[in-house]
Chains A and B, each alone.
Chain A
Amino acid sequence: MRQQEEDLLSLKDGKGVVFNIQRFSINDGPGIRSTVFLKGCPLCCPWCQNPESIRLLPEIFTRNIKCIRCGKCADICPNGAISMTKDSRNIDWDMCNYCLKCVEVCPSKSIELVGEYKTVDEVIEEVMKDSGYYRRTGGGITISGGEPLVQWKFTTALLQKAKQKGVHTAIDTTGYFNWDIMDKVLDYTKLVLYDVKHMDSAKHKKATGVPNEQILENLRKTVKKPGLKVWIRYPVIPSFNDSQEVLDELCAFAAELGPAVEKISLLPFHKFGELKYTAGGRVYAYKDFSVLSDAKVEKLGELIKSNGLHVEIGK
């Protein structure tokens, strides 16, 4: 976290680090939405489907299928991290310090920049291009990450601006952040997609790197804010939180939260992010895990329903 804070201070004036603006998102809140993905996350979940979101500052993705083996990246790399062989390009990720020089010279975009410094106005301009679709479908903007609160000043500015323009606002958060700051950000938010991963703090810490007390405490405070809707998002991860016991605890907790919680979304573990780990020089810890069966997920959904809560099974 310390490193993150230091990095945050170095952010260029008023700009945020954005790694994607996904237009026509239909699973991050109601209607047709644009989801703005910000870099930086205090958690480090090994199943993360966007591993490129964890580091705050810009980094690179390599897509070898587009490489034309011109060797320009290897020539310019000041650290000698890239070497070319006859049929492949190898990167020694330990030697890469994300100077991003290779991105600039790659003619085929087989090395892509992940994370760009953007102003609030630049992001809002892109988002507002689809305003007609939002109005018609009840959609809007969702700020996701990473953890959007890491860049909380930027997130607040985005939400304020969107609200001024009459656009529905949502954030997708881990809830692991200073409440006073979170409280202010939520003033400009209509819907919170709130991730809950495990009810046992020790197990939570072991997997994600942080305990869960603050997350659950912030959720209790969040549901008390007037006019704010909450969708709890629960990633169902094999042999971590896919047992009936853990889910029972979640239901007991959610039942106390009151009507602000509109539903619990189960997000079954998937491996769509696997190649992003290779692309960004990371190791995927869930390589050998299998995806959950539909029957199992269905059963967990029924369990939530039997507690009188609304449930939705995500894809």
Chain B
Amino acid sequence: MERPVTKDPREMESCDELLDAICEQLDFYTKISAVSHNIGHQTIMETNADPLNSLMLDDTLEKGMDLYDYNKEFDSEPQLITLGFVNIADSLAAVQKLVFNEKKYTMDELLTALKANWEGVEEMRQDFLNAPKYGNDDDEVDNWAVKVKTKIFETVQKTKDAWGNPFTIDGSSAIAYQALALGIGATPDGRMMSDCMADGSCSPVAGADKKGPTAVLNSVGKIPFLHTGLFNQRFMPAFVEGENINIFAEYLREWYEKMTIPHIQFNVINSEILKDAQQTPEKYPDLQVRIAGYSAYFVDLPHETQDSIICRTEHSFI
């Protein structure tokens, strides 16, 4: 198998072509994955029988099969973890706006900037960084997220493993958004080389969501195939205290019943991060804290207010 040669981006006329090229490459890598997947599973089936777990299930007992054989026949889809799907969506939205629509930059300039890790073109990077971002309930970019997710899903589905099961996408990227991102170059969403990708698999890029938790939830709710998605949301502890717990409970019911997002991981903001932000504010220009009913940029708050919020947070963990 040879890696496909896709169209030169300089000759493209829209981000749809760019996405097609991405998917063509993805198709190639999915097929390569299929080879290793087939070899891996065949080897496991032949050498690694799992009698203990096989004893625990009715079906394997009734059919007299080992769990690994059973899985391949009845209950297993090969999965690819599509790390960075949100970064692709943000990138395409930015490129469509700045390169194809407004023609503020050429594709050639963009490629040069990315290869140079945005070195020497900070103004340009700021333009891409400040383009619309997924997570703000803004259709301009959320529609890209829908399109990207759909196309990626359709692409991997084209490949089947040796047992006839089509590939699917999985969202449990765990720590990969940070660890694997170390080897990923600069991206057109304004991200620098080696910086984190969006966490989970459908969370917004950290700090890019500026309209509060309901807007994020609405954005995520637009994305199809969420049964494989993973989404993190961070709350101040105050939002789950006292009478607020009732509002929070209704918030949970609303997302569950209307949005059909099966998986959200909630976090309360960590004091260590707030302390670090206090020490090195330049790392956290967009860190927002909710001050009971409204938000503020943490680094813009007076030192003593920052202290009070740090105290409050720690207090709530006791």
**Cα(A276)–Cα(B304), bound, Å:** 15
**Cα(A304)–Cα(B292), bound, Å:** 23
Interface centre among B211, B281, B294, B304 (most CB of A within 10 A): B294
Near B by CB (< 8 A), chain A positions 251-301 give 270-272, 274-276, 279
Near A by CB (< 8 A), chain B positions 216-257 give 218, 238-239, 244, 247, 250-251, 253-254
Contact, CB under 8 Å: A65 / B299: yes
B226 CB to closest chain A CB (Å) equals 17
Contact, CB under 8 Å: B250 / A32: yes
Total interface residues on A, CB under 8 Å, equals 34
Is B291 in the interface zone, CB < 8 Å from A? Answer: yes
Q: Which residues of B contact A26 (CB under 8 A)?
A: 239, 244, 247, 292-293
Contact, CB under 8 Å: A63 / B300: yes
Q: Which residues of B contact A28 (CB under 8 A)?
A: 293
What are the 4 tightest A-B residue pairs by CB atom distance, in nearest-first order?
A27-B293, A315-B292, A24-B212, A107-B126
| Other contacts beyond A108-B126, A270-B305: 17, CB < 8 A | A22-B294, A23-B215, A24-B214, A26-B244, A26-B293, A31-B247, A32-B214, A70-B122, A107-B122, A107-B127, A130-B215, A136-B250, A137-B250, A271-B305, A274-B301, A274-B305, A314-B293
24 examples of A-B residue contacts, CB within 8 angstroms:
A26-B293, A27-B294, A28-B293, A63-B285, A65-B282, A65-B285, A65-B300, A68-B122, A72-B123, A107-B127, A108-B123, A129-B137, A133-B254, A136-B253, A136-B254, A271-B304, A272-B301, A274-B301, A274-B302, A274-B305, A314-B292, A314-B293, A315-B291, A315-B292
Q: Which residues of B contact A66 (CB under 8 A)?
A: 285
B222 CB to closest chain A CB (Å) equals 11
Contact, CB under 8 Å: A108 / B130: yes
Q: Which residues of B contact A305 (CB under 8 A)?
A: none
The closest CB in chain B to the CB of A34 belongs to: B214
Near A by CB (< 8 A), chain B positions 24-74 give none
Contact, CB under 8 Å: A109 / B130: yes
A168 CB to closest chain B CB (Å) equals 14
Is B258 in the interface zone, CB < 8 Å from A? Answer: yes
B160 CB to closest chain A CB (Å) equals 39
Near A by CB (< 8 A), chain B positions 279-301 give 281-282, 285, 291-297, 299-301
Interface size class of B (residues with CB under 8 A): 35 or more
Residues of A at under 8 Å CB distance from B?
A: 22-28, 31-32, 35, 63, 65-66, 68, 70, 72, 107-109, 129-130, 132-133, 136-137, 270-272, 274-276, 279, 314-315
**Cα(A315)–Cα(B285), bound, Å:** 24
Is B213 in the interface zone, CB < 8 Å from A? Answer: yes
Q: Which residues of B contact A25 (CB under 8 A)?
A: 293-294
Contact, CB under 8 Å: B293 / A107: no
Of B130, B218, B254, the residue contacting A107 (CB under 8 A) is: B130
Contact, CB under 8 Å: B254 / A129: no
Of A23, A65, A70, A132, the residue contacting B212 (CB under 8 A) is: A23
**Cα(A257)–Cα(B105), bound, Å:** 63
Contact, CB under 8 Å: B247 / A23: no
Contact, CB under 8 Å: A129 / B301: no
Q: Which residues of B contact A109 (CB under 8 A)?
A: 126, 130
B50 CB to closest chain A CB (Å) equals 45
The closest CB in chain A to the CB of B294 belongs to: A22
Q: Which residues of B contact A279 (CB under 8 A)?
A: 300
Contact, CB under 8 Å: A32 / B247: yes
Q: Which residues of B contact A270 (CB under 8 A)?
A: 305
Q: Which residues of B contact A130 (CB under 8 A)?
A: 214-215, 218
Q: Which residues of A contact B296 (CB under 8 A)?
A: 272
**Cα(A107)–Cα(B122), bound, Å:** 9
**Cα(A99)–Cα(B240), bound, Å:** 44
Contact, CB under 8 Å: A129 / B218: yes
Near A by CB (< 8 A), chain B positions 118-174 give 122-124, 126-127, 129-130, 137
Q: Which residues of A contact B250 (CB under 8 A)?
A: 31-32, 133, 136-137
Contact, CB under 8 Å: A24 / B130: no
B83 CB to closest chain A CB (Å) equals 28
Contact, CB under 8 Å: A70 / B123: yes
Contact, CB under 8 Å: A129 / B215: yes
Of B127, B137, B254, the residue contacting A132 (CB under 8 A) is: B254
Of A27, A32, A276, the residue contacting B251 (CB under 8 A) is: A32
Q: Which residues of A contact B129 (CB under 8 A)?
A: 108
A26 CB to closest chain B CB (Å) equals 6
The closest CB in chain A to the CB of B125 belongs to: A107
Contact, CB under 8 Å: A27 / B292: yes
**Cα(A209)–Cα(B254), bound, Å:** 45
Q: B184-228 interface mask toward A, CB cutoff 8 Å, 1 = contact, 0 = none?
A: 000000000000000000000000000111110010000000000
Contact, CB under 8 Å: B281 / A68: no
**Cα(A174)–Cα(B60), bound, Å:** 72
Contact, CB under 8 Å: A272 / B285: no
Using A22-B294, A23-B215 as known contacts, say yes or no to A65 and B281 having CB atoms under 8 A apart: yes
A27 CB to closest chain B CB (Å) equals 3
A150 CB to closest chain B CB (Å) equals 21
**Cα(A130)–Cα(B295), bound, Å:** 17
